[in-house]
Structure 1
């Protein structure tokens, strides 16, 4: 818990030093994003077939943090690295502001029904809500993602990637690596399915809405 708090404070401080994002400018920079993230049901094939994540309605700080991680190679994904490496800090901030402004009309409820019996002990073991917040839509730090309602297949691939940090498709976040190491892939799939079933604030905004 102490290490988690330290990482949280460092991450929040780093984000606070970034330039303020301009959503209007971000709208003009999103052309490279909408080909995947602006199509309902669009699937990626790396490292396995899965729907690309919904990012409209995601927190601005997380969008920036994710792009930074791809640019630095902390998240290993060839396409996203190429895109993120082409962006300035201001570009990232503008895109973050743009996508954060596309939040679904209704905010996620603060509480939902109790998790199924098979999933409840997994949530407790991972202490997931302590970082991702109520309903998995109220993260406790700007750099943490909203997860509620996200595609289950994407969540599953993302969770597994923290186990594969040394491989070409791994992710190098120390907190998440520590969290997932004690879970089997079957348990991670259960968690992903439950989180995806929750009402959330994420959505896919069709391409036509950007033009």
Structure 2
């Protein structure tokens, strides 16, 4: 069993590297924070409103993206653009952005809302999971990519997930289990392999725990109107 798990993790690392080829290309373009601030009008109507909910594919809060890794934001936008993430609204937005736009928007949100003297997220979660959730997290080898505290991933192309909205995490995890749906689903082979090991109830339990942890993700209120 241990040998099988080691093999799976090795294959996961190799597959994720391949998956992010498009994102790595985009990141060759240097993002400019000030320019990014001028390009987020299409983002703030959802991601800049505290408690804002999406109704597709089910009702859930839109993800916190302020404080997220720039490389991950770029990876996600490129995945929507390529159709690897199936979400009509996000694909439409991503299609409107060129590589420079994506780099600028990603750079802007990576630093957005960060205080100069903000404390570091603890290296170990302050809240321990239940025995059930602990077993699920170990089965999925979640910390091998997302870090022990789920806020310091081993590669900046992987998301910070500590403190992310639980309902969003649940919807995102379920999307990796979707197949043959033109509007819903994500085609990351690694995450699909992980998510399909679990029932939806188990995914929800993990999402609830990860959401409860301290992290550096935020929703920073922004005006929907710019001059």
Shorter-chain TM-score: what band? over 0.9
Indicate if the aligned counterparts of 1:147 and 1:200 stay in contact, CA closer than 8 A. yes
Matches within 5 A, 1:128-167: 128-167=142-181
| Residues 1:192 and 2:207 aligned together | yes
| Compared CA separation, residues 210 and 141, structure 1 to 2 (3 A) | farther
For 2:184, the equivalent position in structure 1 comes to: 169
Indicate if the aligned counterparts of 1:27 and 1:210 stay in contact, CA closer than 8 A. no
* Structure 2: segments with no counterpart, 5+ residues: 1-8
Q: Distance in 2 between matches of 1:208 and 1:107?
A: 28
For 2:15, the equivalent position in structure 1 comes to: 7
Q: Distance in 2 between matches of 1:10 and 1:164?
A: 21
| TM norm structure 2 | 0.88
Q: Distance in 1 between matches of 2:170 and 2:59?
A: 11
Q: Distance in 2 between matches of 1:101 and 1:51?
A: 21
| TM norm structure 1 | 0.94
Q: Tell me how far 1:114 sits from its aligned partner.
A: 2.6
* Structure 1: segments with no counterpart, 5+ residues: none
Q: Tell me how far 1:7 sits from its aligned partner.
A: 2.9
Q: Distance in 1 between matches of 2:23 and 2:16?
A: 11
The one-character-per-residue Cα deviations of 1:115-140 (angstroms, maximum 9, x if unpaired) are: 21121100000000100012101111
Q: Distance in 2 between matches of 1:37 and 1:15?
A: 21
Alignment RMSD: 1.8
Indicate if the aligned counterparts of 1:103 and 1:201 stay in contact, CA closer than 8 A. no
- Equivalent pairs counted in the alignment come to 211
